[in-house]
Amino acid sequence: MPRNIEELWLMGTAIEELPSSFGNLSRLQELFLDGCDRLKRLPSSICKWKSLQKLSIGYCSKLNELPNDIGPLESLEILELERDPIRELPSSIIYLKNLWMINCRGCEELTLSGFEFFPDNLSSLILSESGITELPEFPDGCLSSLRSLDLSGTSLESIPASIINLSGLSYLDICNCKRLKCLPKLPLGSIEAYGCTSLEVLPSPSLRLRKHTFANFINCFKLDQNIFEDILEVALLNIKLLHMCRFFDGCKLTVHGGAKLCYPGNEIPKWFNFRSMGSFINVELPPNWYNHNFIGFGFALCIAATPLLDGIQSYTDTGEIYRVEMQYQF
């Protein structure tokens, strides 16, 4: 096999092991072994692939471990392990300084011993539908670059309060975590929590200056409705403060803030002055309304969800997609 190969696709083949000669592929950047049902292990010689940037080995039903020493894969950026029977990740991943995404979606045998072994550069960690039933603590200073954490579809009953140490976290997905009963204080601006049918307690919202806030609590029927009013108030205050910041010298914010909140209920918040039944409303704006005091528009809709509409996307409890679209004319 030519040594100058940069991409190698062996998906769905009957390969049981990689030939030792593969260790000579010094220019290999991407390797795809997804769906190789007979593949049982990866040879330690893969550590010679100094140029490898993406390793995709999902849906390998007999692959239950990675080589212990994968630290020499210094260029590796993406590690795809979806639906593999991997039991644990080797501690040597801490040396993968360029690794920014790990996908363990559907790894039902997976357990996590600690997050201190994860590389600092990791920005996306996907653990959805995996076998984890509890999370280790998040030590202060670890996973400092993590922006997105996907825990959806797991059997978690709680999340450690130390998640607040993930100062860079901006997006958390806990959709369909049916056993999750409460959430700790979170360091983020966006959360997907639809289908958390046991969720009863949310932390009191705290003010954090973020350009965008999104929260989806559809089908979380056990939650106290008062907490949503608190979240709305904090989101509005955040938007107002972001608007004010634009007028200070040296402020780098160039756009208005925004917020989206979806939750179960049958009432429009009281502070919406213009109301209408149906899907249309006409609002008379005052003269000279567009001035330096103008912040933006707020919309509230109360709908009975019907699958497969057009617009803002979410999901029903059966997994069907529906969306809501808003249009306005001046």
Higher pLDDT, 13 or 304: 13
Is residue 286's pLDDT more than 80? yes
Instruction: Give the model's pLDDT for residue 301.
Output: 87
**Structure pTM?**
0.86
Cross-strand bridge partners of residue 72 = none
b/e burial code for range 238-252 (CB count within 10 A of at least 16 → b): bbeebbeeeeeeeee
CB count within 10 Å of CB 282 equals 6
Instruction: Give the model's pLDDT for residue 297.
Output: 85
Cross-strand bridge partners of residue 148 = 124, 171
Is residue 257's pLDDT more than 70? no
Is residue 131's pLDDT more than 50? yes
b/e burial code for range 204-237 (CB count within 10 A of at least 16 → b): ebeeeebebbbbbbbbbeebeeebbeebbebbee
Quick one: which of 40, 50, 100 has its CA closest to 70? 50
Phi then psi dihedrals of residue 233, to 5 deg:
-65, -45
pLDDT band at 124 (very low <50, low <70, confident <90, very high): very high
The most confident of the ranges 127-136, 252-261, 269-278, 311-320 is 127-136
The whole-angstrom separation of Cα 271 and Cα 298 is 10
CA dihedral 55, 56, 61, 64 (to 10 degrees): 30
* The token pair that represents 186 in the structure block: 């979170």
Higher pLDDT, 315 or 246: 246
Phi then psi dihedrals of residue 30, to 5 deg:
-140, 130
Is residue 207's pLDDT more than 50? no
Is residue 317's pLDDT more than 70? no
Would you put residue 27 in left (φ > 0), alpha (ψ -120 to 50) or beta?
A: alpha
pLDDT band at 169 (very low <50, low <70, confident <90, very high): very high
Region 143-167: what's the mean pLDDT?
96
Strands (E), the chain: 7-9, 30-32, 54-56, 78-80, 101-103, 124-126, 148-150, 171-173, 190-192, 212-216, 258-262, 312-315, 321-324
Assess contact for 46 and 18: CB atoms under 8 A.
Answer: yes
CATH 3.40.710.10 for the 1-110 domain, yes or no: no
Instruction: Give the model's pLDDT for residue 308.
Output: 45
Within 8 A by CB and 6+ apart from 19, the residues are none
Is residue 98's pLDDT more than 90? yes
Quick one: which of 61, 65, 92 has its CA closest to 76? 92
Region 250-255: what's the mean pLDDT?
51
Cross-strand bridge partners of residue 327 = none
* Coil/strand/helix, residue 102: strand
What are the tens digits of pLDDT across the range 34-46?
999 999 999 888 8
What are the tens digits of pLDDT across the range 212-230?
678 899 889 998 877 877 7
Instruction: Give the model's pLDDT for residue 321.
Output: 56
The whole-angstrom separation of Cα 273 and Cα 275 is 6
Exposed, middle or buried: residue 274 (CB in 10 Å: 0-12, 13-18, 19+)? exposed
Region 279-296: what's the mean pLDDT?
85
Region 95-117: what's the mean pLDDT?
96
Is residue 303's pLDDT more than 90? no
- Residue ranges per domain, the chain? 1-110
Higher pLDDT, 330 or 125: 125
Is residue 132's pLDDT more than 70? yes
pLDDT band at 47 (very low <50, low <70, confident <90, very high): confident
Instruction: Give the model's pLDDT for residue 311.
Output: 42
The most confident of the ranges 45-49, 151-155, 202-206 is 151-155
Is residue 75's pLDDT more than 60? yes
Region 171-192: what's the mean pLDDT?
92
Assess contact for 38 and 83: CB atoms under 8 A.
Answer: no
Region 72-86: what's the mean pLDDT?
97
Region 135-148: what's the mean pLDDT?
95
pLDDT band at 269 (very low <50, low <70, confident <90, very high): confident
* The token pair that represents 201 in the structure block: 């307690």
Is residue 5's pLDDT more than 60? yes
Is residue 296's pLDDT more than 50? yes
